[in-house]
Structure 1
Amino acid sequence: MAEYKVKLINPSSHLKEEYRSFYEEWEASGEKMIPSVIERDPSHFEEMLQFLRDNEKAIRIPAGWVPDSTYGLIDERKRVLGVVNIHHALTPFLRNSGGHVGYGIRPSERRRGYAASLLGLSIQKARELGIERVLVVCDEDNIGSFKTIVKNGGTADRDFIEEDGTVVKRFWIDT
């Protein structure tokens, strides 16, 4: 259970050191970084922030991409606990195995209820963005994400099987 009140915030310069700590912890874990937007090295923090702002406004985004919004989950101590990336629309790829919402909690803060809070707050943000139903996905073997999605009202849709055989569980949540 989360010990502190949490909220979603737009990435900003005042969180530079805390975000760097989040990134370095995740990188040291050797785990895949999810959402993929956190793979960007924050060494040039202002450039990273500009990239995120551009994505949100659909400025200089690559062909085939859709606008997206990125938020950090912080607690009362201003510690970055997690990050969420919300796609404003779905491409064929996102419809199958990416979804509207991709989120991740820093390794040292997992199993404390933060993922459920992050997803719940993300659903509210999606509503503010005009998205009436969000698609949230997880790999079949990710039991924690499966439970988090269901806890937030996820209704199962058909699974998608990727070329490598990975089974992606797909869920819809009304905002």
Structure 2
Amino acid sequence: MRLTEVWRADPERTFELFSEFPADENGFENQAAGMDRERFAVYVHELEEQSRGIGLQPGWVPSSKYVLINDEGAYVGIFNLRHRLNDNLRVGAGHIGYGIAPQYRGRGYATVGLRLTLDKARELGIDEAYLSVHKDNRASLAVQQHCGAHIDHEDGLEYYTRISTAPEPGNLPKAEFMFPGPERDRLVGLILAGTKTATAALMIEYEEDDEPLPQVGERSALVDSSERPVAILVTTAVDVIPLGKITDRHAIDEGEGDTTAAAWRHTHESFWNAPEYRNEFADPDFPLNDDSLVVFEHFKVVRLLDSMANKTADGYEQQV
């Protein structure tokens, strides 16, 4: 079973699949209803551009439309994934819409297809998927609930559901700040409070350990001194900067008390010149000067875990 973007799928079979749906069925809208093959080919090209954010109509967002293909190669359903939400979508249709061709309903394809679409959402960095379903469409509500949905709210016509797509902390690399102890827990508190939104390391650390640089969109589990995951972080930007080019803004973003580049540099050079730090390198006498490269990683908290949600820099050891 697989999802394939409509512009990568077989054109004729995709056209036949879309032709099986009316313009609107239980909230699933088919913009291709009534199109002939020539117009449908243009529509598929428009969908490809829409997935890249090209030529969007007012109020639209980038989205990807997929066909669900079963193990026998049959085209059984259509799934749409919006890459992000605007205010109207957030209180309305949400991220995902789907429909299964009439002859394939009742066989579990909707559940499989929705799970595959949630995987795509996770790859886009969506930690919680928003969906909606007509109140009289109990089968579709059951599909969503089988995929972990809960009803967030409702109105006279619709249930509005939410499905967590955040990865489990145990499956993520650890984000460890300093060594275990009071200083690590102080930094964890600053991160939870939103004061610390960046961290810095010398490029030589990555070179010494033959590690790749962090990448935008990567997630990690922030751990405290007890190695307990307390939050999930996502990398939002990575800058490689000569030490002499660090600015006051960098110092403030790191959130550890330094508000000027000069103060930041004094604090960090004291750490980077300490024997305990340098003795970890093959050449502990490596130079540290204006040209030394610093990897400056920006991040944000995307999920607080369990009882840690109310901990802050001032009250990390005590629930508030």
TM-score normalised over the length of structure 1: 0.84
The structure with the larger Rg is 2
| Secondary structure of the structure 1 residue equivalent to 2:20 | helix
The CA distance in 2 between the partners of 1:30 and 1:89, in whole Å, is: 23
1:91 aligns with one of 75, 86, 91? 86
Pairwise CA RMSD of aligned residues? 2.2
**Is residue 105 of structure 1 aligned with residue 100 of structure 2?**
yes
The CA distance in 2 between the partners of 1:52 and 1:21, in whole Å, is: 17
Q: Deviations over 1:33-79 (max 9, x none)?
A: 72444547261243122111111111011111111011110013322
**Is residue 65 of structure 1 aligned with residue 60 of structure 2?**
yes
Residue 148 to residue 14, structure 1, CA distance change in 2 (3 Å): closer
8 Å contact kept, 2:27–2:134 = no
For 2:161, give the aligned amino acid. F
Q: Which residue of 1 aligns with 2:18?
A: 23
Which has the larger helix fraction? 1
Q: How many residues align?
A: 164
| Secondary structure of the structure 1 residue equivalent to 2:50 | helix
The CA distance in 2 between the partners of 1:30 and 1:173, in whole Å, is: 24
> Per chain length, whose mean CA-contact separation is higher, i.e. which structure has more relative contact order (CA < 8 Å, sep 6+)?
1
What 5-or-longer segments of structure 2 have no aligned partner? 166-320
| Secondary structure of the structure 2 residue equivalent to 1:103 | strand
What 5-or-longer segments of structure 1 have no aligned partner? 1-5
- Which residues of 2 match residues 111-150 of structure 1 at below 5 A? 111-150=106-145
The CA distance in 2 between the partners of 1:120 and 1:13, in whole Å, is: 20
* % identity of equivalent residues: 30
For 1:127, give the aligned amino acid. R
Residue 122 to residue 30, structure 1, CA distance change in 2 (3 Å): closer
The CA distance in 2 between the partners of 1:20 and 1:33, in whole Å, is: 20
Residue 15 to residue 42, structure 1, CA distance change in 2 (3 Å): farther
